[in-house]
């Protein structure tokens, strides 16, 4: 099912019991400058206060959550592995009870310094795959409407009563990874 920005949907419910997910991120880059554009994926595991503990900030320097519910696979900068740029495994059943949502983000490494931004990124897709049957259940084009931003919160998976829902956000930020960390209560040195 293709989703639009802000279109909230249930991942699981009384009718469907989907808990093991593969989040796949793909994109193309149109840039011929001095440095290649390097996009990095991160996941903020957010508590009820809107904050993320450093150990629950999943990125290239910390690829696994404390509860092992979120695992960021290798950074496939070349897109070789299954033709996907980034792959994240999520097990909704094992996420710690204090975590209210997962915020999935992409940043441009040294975007401000290199004067790179999301206007050079095209065909950005966020896909949710049911690991059990290998079916894509949701997809969302995340780069529509982005221009000068160097970071974007693509989507959130969040608790809703006894279930999990997906909210495609596509909210851009200036300031790269540092701005996102500030947004979720992580201090960057």
> What percentage of the chain has pLDDT greater than the value 70?
94
Predicted TM-score (pTM) of the model is 0.91
Q: Which domains are delineated in the chain?
A: 2-183 (2.60.60.30)
Measured CA to CA in angstroms, residue 35 lies from 22, 27, 38, 44, 92 at distances of 30, 17, 9, 27, 37
pLDDT tens, residue by residue, 42-63:
999 999 999 999 999 999 999 9
pLDDT at 80 (0 to 100): 34
pLDDT at 13 (0 to 100): 76
Q: Cβ(107)–Cβ(150) under 8 Å?
A: yes
Query: Could you tell me how many residues make up the chain?
Result: 189
| Mean pLDDT, rounded, of the chain | 89
Residue 77 pLDDT level (bands cut at 50, 70, 90) = very low
């Amino acid at each position: 099912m293709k989703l639009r920005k802000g279109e909230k949907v249930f991942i699981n419910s009384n009718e469907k019991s989907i808990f093991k997910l593969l989040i796949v991120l793909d994109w193309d880059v149109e840039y011929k400058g001095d440095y290649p554009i390097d996009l990095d994926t991160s996941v903020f595991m957010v508590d009820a206060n809107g904050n993320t503990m450093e150990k629950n900030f999943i990125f290239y320097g910390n690829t696994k959550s404390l509860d092992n519910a979120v695992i960021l696979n290798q950074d496939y900068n070349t897109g070789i592995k299954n033709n996907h740029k980034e792959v994240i495994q999520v097990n909704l059943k094992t996420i710690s009870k204090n975590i209210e949502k997962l915020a999935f983000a992409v940043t441009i490494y040294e975007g401000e310094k290199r004067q790179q931004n999301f206007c050079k990124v095209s065909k950005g897709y966020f896909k949710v795959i049911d690991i059990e049957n290998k079916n894509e259940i949701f997809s969302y084009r995340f780069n529509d409407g982005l221009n000068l931003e160097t970071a974007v919160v693509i989507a959130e998976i969040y608790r809703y009563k006894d279930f999990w829902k997906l909210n495609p956000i596509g909210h851009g930020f200036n300031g790269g990874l540092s701005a996102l960390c500030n947004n979720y209560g992580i201090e960057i040195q």
